[in-house]
Structure 1
Amino acid sequence: MLPTLRPSTGSPIVRAIVSRYGRLLVSSLLLFVAVITVLFVLLELAPGNPIQSLVGDVPISPAFEAQITAAYGLDKPLWERYFIYLGNVFTGNLGFSFGTNEPVLELILGRAGNTLALAVPSFVISTTLGIVLGSIAARTRRRWLDSTISGVAVGLFSVPNFWLGMMLIMVFSLTLGWLPTQGKAPYGQEGIALQYMVLPIITMATSELAYKTRIMRASMIESLSQDFIDTARSKGVSSQRVLWRHAMPNALLPMVTISGYSLGFILAGSVLVERVFGWPGMGLLFIDAIGRQDNQVVLGVVIVLTVTIIIVNILTDVVYGIVDPRLRSQLVRRSTTTRKIEVPA
């Protein structure tokens, strides 16, 4: 009797997606725990006394110091405090600030909107202009326009964003008087004024724009050298149509990954930019917390940024899997298992 064949159950593409992104979620969780562990230990080993920073330069009695230490749980062993804090993090409790005694999560969420007000426009501007300028440079390869765009991109990528911010303040604020130097709105006014956003956004977007321009140029050059481009040209398709309708979709695939990662770099770089411009976001909160040794706030800001970057990277991987047909076919091939063979007894 011939053996009977029974196909394996479940959709192959669903099994492949679960396998791929399941591993990605596990690795992201391990990375998250590792970041918390390393930063927690480093802050504990840092010199200084957070209790003395809390009360200032005023001398305090040993009894009062012991009381505050017990109130914040600093009298417990390091390992016990670590596991208590780790458990609190996974329940959404980031502790209380040593300086203001406010919940850390509320402090961060109160500043997150200001940071996103700079990060999102910087991301959109750097990505859009990076795609356009990179495509133009690739289209005019080995000409003066390509050399100019590539040279300026390399130069801007090498400039530290805090130095660029100070130079912009010197030129457009102190010398020309066109734009304000610090804050997010005139004194006594609520909300965010547009003129206060210009210089910080330019500072945050510049290095990412330069990097994305270089990446897009290289990707477009590779796309223009493919066989299907030669086929389109042989059929009499115009150069502009070849560039924007045929080469562009293929060249944009690397930009999906690069753009996702760049949002993390923009958020991380906002720490220095907000300090330079006195912008009241998470970055300035982070710098101030380091100065007064408010470890709970420092840990909280890093945790929120880490979670945001991990989520953005996961979404980037998902989007790349959607837009790249090669990855979809690869998932299907990997998920196609051999059929189970039932051999009669």
Structure 2
Amino acid sequence: MRPALIHYGRLLASSALLLLVVITVLFLLLEIAPGDPLQAMLGDAPASEEFRDQMVATFGLDQPMWQRYLTYVGNVLTGDLGESIVSRRSVTELIMIRAPYTLIIAVIALIISTIVCLVLGAIAARTRRPWLDGLISGGSLTFFSIPNFWLGLMLIWLFAVVLDWLPASGANAHGEPGIAWQYMILPIVATATSQLALKTRVMRSSTIEALGQDYIDTARSKGLSSDRVLYRHGLPNALLPMITIVGLSVGNLLAGSTLIERVFGWPGMGLLMVDAINEKDNMVVLGVTIVMTVMILIANILTDIVYGLVDPRLRARFTRSGRSAA
């Protein structure tokens, strides 16, 4: 038990250090980026020097960069992500409004892609029909090569423009609050398809490798049916790499949400970041990046914990380490 606590303690410490590095690098990049945030906020409206000086003092832009950095890091530790220079609203409030939209697409796409990849990967690995294996493998490779934003545009063209079955953008009719189910279908399909392609190939390879192990031959020699060998002995071991892939896919889902939400006009964190970048709203860009980074780090930590619970070899290593220390 003690080695496991040490391991997870180091994991938490390294995650916190990585988050600090992300904040530092992005803060410096936004500082040296061209453009005037105040001018982006004011637009073409005339503003006196007194008003500009007042706004500079309000947002602390008159302080040295190192002082603003330390102040910002201290505020982040208390949960304060700053204030939007454009909307004059709390960045935390803006993210809390947008986060559910991003999470509902990401979670549903993650579940669908994982379930479908388990089925397709197992079928491709055990089928005796070469054309079926080739169809699944070739299809997954094709969809893996297609950019998700292009796939989203093609889905809009087919289902919203040509067939007129589904809405093209937004989350609800006439911009009303809340989410209507028909508006989620195309973003979920575009997001899940890009995830499904990679997972299917990994699942297929992992299942083939698991079915080639000695214990599979032993199970077959005992007279077990092919289905029982697959589902009782093959798939449980083939699922171990999939745990890692699912955990890593969270980062791809959140990163890809920026393009997907832009294509479908989905009012999530990705679209919030795109708008903030265009408006030079640095505090919002920083806030969204921090929240997404925290989500990815939490997913990685949970993946490590689940892997340790599922993989008996890892549990045995922790047990041996604990006995050695004792």
Q: Same fold (TM over 0.5)?
A: yes
2:76 is aligned, of 84, 89, 100, to 89
Residue 34 (structure 2) aligns with? 47
Equivalent of 2:6 in 8, 12, 19: 19
Q: Match for 2:202 among 215, 239, 245?
A: 215
Once the 2 structures are TM-superposed, how far is the Cα of residue 260 of structure 1 from its aligned partner? 1.1
| 2:48 counterpart residue number | 61
Structure 1 residues 160 and 59, CA gap change in structure 2 (3 angstroms) = same
Equivalent residue runs for 1:187-336 within 5 Å:
187=174, 189-336=176-323
Partner Cα distance (1:41, 1:79) in 2: 10
CA offsets per residue over residues 182-230 of structure 1, 9 Å max, x none?
1011116432111111100011111110000011011100100011111
Q: Deviations over 1:277-316 (max 9, x none)?
A: 0011111111111111110000000000000110110011
| Residue type at the aligned position of 1:336 | R
Q: Which amino acid aligns with 1:54?
A: M
What SS does structure 1 have at the residue aligned with 2:266? coil
Question: How far apart, CA to CA, are the structure 2 residues paired with 1:19 and 1:186?
Answer: 51
For the structure 1 residues 27 and 188, does the alpha-carbon distance in structure 2 shift closer, same or farther, using more than 3 Å as the test? closer
Task: Mark the CA change 1:299 to 1:141 in structure 2 (over 3 Å): closer, same or farther.
Answer: farther
Matched residues in 1 for 2:322 and 2:209: separation? 30
Paired amino acid for 1:335: G
Aligned-partner Cα distance in 2 for 1:222–1:129: 20
Offset, 1:336 = 2.6
Matched to 1:34, the amino acid is: V
Give the paired residue count. 326
Alpha-carbon distance in structure 2 between the residues aligned to 1:279 and 1:77: 37
Q: CA deviation at 1:171?
A: 0.9
Tell me the SS of whatever aligns to 2:173. coil
Distance of 2:23 and 2:56 partners within structure 1: 22
| Structure 1: distance between partners of 2:293 and 2:124 | 35
Distance 1:57 1:329 in 2: 66
> Partners of 1:142 and 1:65 in 2: how far apart?
72
Name the SS of the counterpart of 1:113 in structure 2: helix
1:273 and 1:80 map into 2 onto residues whose CA distance is 37
TM-score scaled by structure 1?
A: 0.92
Letter in 2 for 1:282: M
Partner in structure 2 of residue 10 of structure 1: none
CA-CA distance at 1:61 after TM superposition: 2.4
Equivalence for 1:5? none
Flag the structure with more relative contact order, 1 or 2, with Cα contacts below 8 A and sequence separation at least 6.
Answer: 1
Counterpart code for 2:7: R
Q: Which residue of 2 aligns with 1:343?
A: none
Q: Percent identity?
A: 60
Cα deviation for residue 338 of structure 1 reads 5.9
Shift of residue 142, structure 1, vs aligned partner: 7.1
Measured after TM superposition, the shift of residue 59 of structure 1 is 2.9
Q: Which whole-Å CA distance do the structure 2 matches of 1:57 and 1:205 have between them?
A: 42
Q: 1:312 to 1:188 in 2, by over 3 A?
A: closer
CA distance in 1, matches of 2:54, 2:237: 64
Instruction: Give the Å deviation of 1:110.
Output: 0.5
Greater radius of gyration (CA): 1
CA drift of 1:141 comes to 6.2
Structure 1 residue aligned with 2:324: 337
Of 19, 22, 25, which aligns to 1:35? Answer: 22
Once residues 59 and 27 of structure 1 are traced to their aligned partners in structure 2, the CA distance between those partners, rounded to angstroms, is 48
Output the amino acid matched with 2:170: G
Query: How do 1:110-259 residues align onto structure 2 when only pairs under 5 Å count?
Result: 110-140=97-127, 143-187=130-174, 189-259=176-246
Aligned match for 1:98, one of 85, 100, 105: 85
Ranges in structure 2 where 5+ consecutive residues have no aligned partner:
none
